[in-house]
Amino acid sequence: MAFQSAENQNKLVWAWEQFARRYKASDVIWGYDLVNEPIERNVAEDADDWQDLSERLAKAIRAVDAKHAILVEPAAGDDCRAIRRLRPINVPNVVYNVHMYAPHQFTHQGVYGANGAFAKACVYPGEFNAWDGAPMEKWNKAKMEEFMKPVFEFQKKYGVRVILGEFSAVRWAPDNSAYRWLKDVIEIAEEHDWDGLYHSYSLYDGWSVQHDEVREHTAPATAPTDREKLLREWFAKNRKPQ
């Protein structure tokens, strides 16, 4: 998040005011995500920390647009555990947005190339580092629930709405295990009545549920993959957003 200076923060507030004016009557847009995966480092003395800046942004939007949801992500890259640092934003219709890619050793295997981070092929459930330098741990559905628990606690304590704004695992994870990972994440989110957005459909074929599990296959599969069928099963249960 390159908004450590008061000058840049003021520009961001101004930009969101312009977006809100432009789209306040739109029926296509559901909500405004203030900053994607904010990372809070050293902030200038005359600047706001992420808590205060997100509240300032939300209030600036609400002064213009009372219609659309405002999505707030916790700092530290939108890690589920970072939500402990947030307090609820004092404006109406705020949704708290978290992303789920843990453990990165599994979800991002091979994304950065054969010699990059997370290059080793691995199967879920299994033993993983959650991130570089973390200890090896057994990751299964119970571990995923433990990792996401701070969000459950925040949701229950404050009675807020939560959206799983991104979640995914690369399609070439061995033994079709991206399907098992996705199934566990969706079931956990549904148990806690979260909204969800799969990442992503056409941005990068590594995340595509329309491509099969063979990395070298760069064209969509001729038949629905297990991952696509899983998403479609849950899509069929959708309720119209409020």
84 is a domain residue: no
Instruction: Report the distance separating Cα 242 and Cα 239, nearest Å.
Output: 9
One domain, residues 5 and 117:
no
Q: How, if at all, do strands 161-167 and 94-100 pair?
A: parallel
Q: What's the pLDDT score for residue 240? A: 74
Q: What's the pLDDT score for residue 241? A: 61
91 is a domain residue: no
Q: What's the pLDDT score for residue 67? A: 95
CATH of the domain at 166: 3.20.20.80
Local mean pLDDT, 10-residue blocks, the chain (242 residues): 83 97 96 93 86 97 97 89 94 97 93 84 89 82 96 98 97 97 98 95 93 95 97 90 60
56 is a domain residue: yes
238 is a domain residue: yes
What predicted TM-score, i.e. pTM, was given to this entire model? Answer: 0.93
Q: Which of 17, 45, 77 is the C-terminal boundary of a domain?
A: 77
42 is a domain residue: yes
Domain span at 137: 101-242
